[in-house]
Structure 1
Amino acid sequence: MRLHKNCLNCDKELKGRTDKKYCDPQCKSSHQYKKEKEQPERFYNKVDNQLKLNRKLLKEYNKAGKAVIRSEVLLKEGFNPKFFTHYWKNKKGDTYLFVYEYGFFKKTEHGVEKYVLIKWQDYMSK
């Protein structure tokens, strides 16, 4: 004997199998989407999303392979220099932080904070 059960998403009465939870695949998908949206963003997702944004911005502002840009321009667009994938030190001892193949180095020129943007080169692996 079956107790009357309703769809977990739309609350319509369910017909069919006794273990059924949703009236159709759309309701199942909608309910799972709502549940996922209620969960706090996972740490991995926060890091991954920030790395993607950082890479996108570095790529966008460094079309030629090397560029210099005011730090405030990148920061205003959501760039966060604390998120990077690896680093590389040049012969002068400057440490460039990289987000995948796009690197940046913070410097101050005439009291203005800037980033020197570069792209990863094969010789950097050596």
Structure 2
Amino acid sequence: MKRNCTYCNEKLEGRVGKKYCSSYCRSAFYYQQNKEKEYSLFKKIDQQLKTNRKILKNYNRAGLVTIRKGKLIKEGFDPKYFTHYWKNSKGQVYLFCYEYGFLELKDNAKSKYLLVIWQSYMDTS
């Protein structure tokens, strides 16, 4: 019975249950398999960041706008995913998804977001 490596298709020698010709092929096979998984952690995070950016961009065409938090959440926005933050002189922390930012505000016990776009004066480095 002829057996071949699962990854590179080379002829296998040795024990009967062997699937790979080398540790490289075994590692490469599992790397490829995990890379192709639809919901890996990094893909999930990246997808949520892209979704957040798209939603913020869509609602912030003017550069500065206030919107109900619930409306963004309904669209798929998740405030736990952001790329960086900026703290203003009042101590307020704006969270950003790339160049689009948001600051949570409370108005009559209702949660809102102030949406902004990254400005050059925010760069403190």
TM-score (norm 2): 0.70
Query: Which secondary structure state, in structure 2, belongs to the residue aligned with residue 69 of structure 1?
Result: strand
Structure 2 Cα separation of the partners of residues 63 and 39 of structure 1: 35
**Structure 2 runs not aligned, ≥5 long:** 3-8, 11-32
Q: Give me the CA root mean square deviation.
A: 2.6
2:50 corresponding residue in structure 1: 52
1:72 Cα deviation after fit: 0.4
Equivalent pairs counted in the alignment come to 100
1:77 aligns with 2:75: yes
> CA offsets per residue over residues 55-89 of structure 1, 9 Å max, x none?
00000000011000000000001100000000000
Query: Which secondary structure state, in structure 1, belongs to the residue aligned with residue 101 of structure 2?
Result: strand
Query: Which secondary structure state, in structure 2, belongs to the residue aligned with residue 83 of structure 1?
Result: coil
Q: 2:96 aligns with which of 81, 98, 101?
A: 98
1:107 Cα deviation after fit: 1.0
Amino acid at match of 1:65: G
Structure 2 Cα separation of the partners of residues 41 and 113 of structure 1: 31
Amino acid at match of 1:82: K
**Structure 1 runs not aligned, ≥5 long:** 4-17, 20-34
Q: How does 1:1-126 map to 2 (within 5 A)?
A: 39=37, 41-126=39-124
Query: Which secondary structure state, in structure 1, belongs to the residue aligned with residue 67 of structure 2?
Result: strand
TM-score (norm 1): 0.70
Percent identity, aligned pairs only? 51
